[in-house]
Amino acid sequence: MEKSNGNVQKKKSKFSVPHVYVILFSLIIIAAISTYIFPSGEYERMIDDAGRTIVVADTYKETESSPAGFWSIFQAVHKGMVNSAGIIFYIFIVGGSFGILQATGAIEAAVGSISKTMKGREILIIPILMTFFALSGAMLGLAEETIPYITILVPLMLLIGYDSMVGAAIVLVGTSAGFTAAFMNPFTIGVAQGIAELPLFSGLYLRVIFFVIFLAISIWYVMRYANKIRKDPTKSVLFNEVSTEDFVVPDKLLTLTTRHKMIFMILLGTLIMLAYGVINFGWYLSEISGLFLLMGILIGLTGKMNFSEVSESFIKGCSTLVMGALVVGVANAILVILQEGQIMDSILYGFSSIIGEMPAGFAAFGMYIVQCLLNYIIPSGSGQAALTMPIMAPLSDLVGVTRQTAVLAFQFGDGISNIFTPTSGYFMAALALAKISWVKWVKWILPLIIIHYTLGAIFVTIAHYIGFS
C-alpha cells in the first residue's frame, strides 16, 4: 500500500537520514521564514467548464505582506490535518480493508498455488508472479504488505537453482513496477488526481499501456539474470554468500481453496464496481471508501472471520498506514504556511516566469525531475502528492502542461526510487529478510533503475505532446 519509512534496525553510524516528520517540520519552519523574505502576491482564479479552480495567467499582483508568526508554525500542523482529513481517512479505510484481505491468507495461497502449478516450468514462475505483484501495486497500492512473501520465494528460488536476488526481485521489482506505473493506485493516483481536481482514475487507457511496457522490461531484466545464473552459478552477484541453509524452507505451501477463490471474486467485483462508479457516476473519496469498507466486511465474512476478527484485521491494516496517512496532513501544513503568508502564488509566479521561457516539453520534464528528487527526501507517495500537487497543478495550467501530465510526472517520480533509496524503510526491511546487502542490490539493479528513469521521462514527454487529459 502506501509506502512508508518504516523502522529498520541498522548499525549505528555517524549520520542517519532524519525521519520524514523531521524533514517535513523543518520545511514548515523554512516556509515560515520564507514569508519574511518573499513578497506577498496573488493570482486571480476562475472555475473552468470542468468545475476546476484554475489560475488565470498574467493576473499576478503583489499584496500586503502577512508573514507567519511563531505560533502559526505549530497551528499549521492541525490545520493541515483538518484540510487533508478526507484524504487521510480515505487512506485509513482503504488500507484497513486491505488488512482484512491480507488476514484471510488468500494472497499467500495464490502465491503458493502459482508456485506449485509451475513445477517443472520454473522459469515461468518469474513473469507470472511478477505480474501478480505488479497488479497488486497498480490496482491496490500494495508495497510493504508484500514483504512477507520474500520469506517464501527466496528459499523457493534457491531450491530451483536461482539465487536470493531473484527471489527478492520477483517481489520488490514486480511490486515497484506496478506501484510506479500504476493505473488505479488509490494511494498515489487517487490522492494526486483528487488534489488536482481531476476525475479519479481518469486517463486509465494510456496508463495501462505504460504499465504493460514498464512491467515487461522489468520482467525481461529479472529473467535475463535468472537464466544467466542458472547456466553458470558463478555469475550470481551473491555467489557463495547466500544458500538455502540461511532460510527456513516452508514445509508446505498454502494453495487456493474454494473460499479463497470466492474472496478473489469479491475483490474483482469491487474493482469492476469501482471503475464503473468512477466513470459513470463520478464517485469520489466517500463513495470509494464506502465500497472498499463493504468489500473488507464481505471478504472477512467469506474468510470465516467473526466481526471481532474483521475489526482487529481492519485496525491492523490501518496501523501499517499511520505514518503515511499522517504525513499527508503534515505536508499540507507547509502549504498552510505558504497560503496564509500569501507567498504561494509568488512561488508559482517565480516558477512560471522561469519555466514559461522554456518549451512546454521541458516544463513537463522539469516537473518529473523535481518529483524524482523529492522522493529521496519524502518516501511517502500520498505525502509527496499532498505537498507537490497543490503547486504542480496550477503551475501546469500556467506553463501549458495538462494536469493529467503533471500527475503522471508525480507518479513516476514518486515510484522509481522506492527500491533503490535507503530512505525507503519497507525496501530496506525486505533486503534484510532476503539477506542481501544494499551495496550488492544497488550493483545489480542500477542498470534497471536507469532504464526506469529513462522510461519515465519518455512517458511524461509523450503524455505532454499528445495533450494527455
- pLDDT > 70? residue 167: yes
Least confident piece of the model among 374-378, 387-391, 461-465 = 374-378
pLDDT of residue 213: 97
Average pLDDT over residues 26-32: 91
Determine the Cα–Cα distance for residues 17 and 23; give it in Å rounded to an integer.
9
pLDDT of residue 14: 56
For residues 125 and 114, the answer to whether their CB atoms sit within 8 Å is yes
Least confident piece of the model among 292-301, 325-334, 348-357, 414-423 = 348-357
pLDDT of residue 10: 45
pLDDT digits (tens, 9 = 90+) for 426-453: 787 788 888 888 889 999 999 999 999 9
pLDDT digits (tens, 9 = 90+) for 251-301: 566 788 999 999 999 988 998 898 888 778 878 888 989 999 999 999 999
pLDDT of residue 6: 47
Q: In the chain, pLDDT over 70 holds for what percent of residues?
A: 92
pLDDT digits (tens, 9 = 90+) for 215-243: 999 999 999 999 999 889 888 888 777 66
Determine the Cα–Cα distance for residues 245 and 242; give it in Å rounded to an integer.
8
CA 72, 75, 81, 82 dihedral sign is negative
pLDDT of residue 27: 87
Average pLDDT over residues 151-168: 85
Determine the Cα–Cα distance for residues 35 and 338; give it in Å rounded to an integer.
7
pLDDT digits (tens, 9 = 90+) for 84-132: 888 889 888 988 998 898 899 888 888 778 777 777 677 888 999 999 8
393 against 218, higher pLDDT: 218
pLDDT digits (tens, 9 = 90+) for 451-460: 999 999 999 9
The pLDDT-based confidence of 247 (bands split at 50, 70, 90) is low
Q: Which amino acid is at 39?
A: P
Determine the Cα–Cα distance for residues 379 and 371; give it in Å rounded to an integer.
11
- pLDDT > 50? residue 48: yes
pLDDT of residue 9: 46
End-to-end alpha-carbon separation of the chain, Å? 26
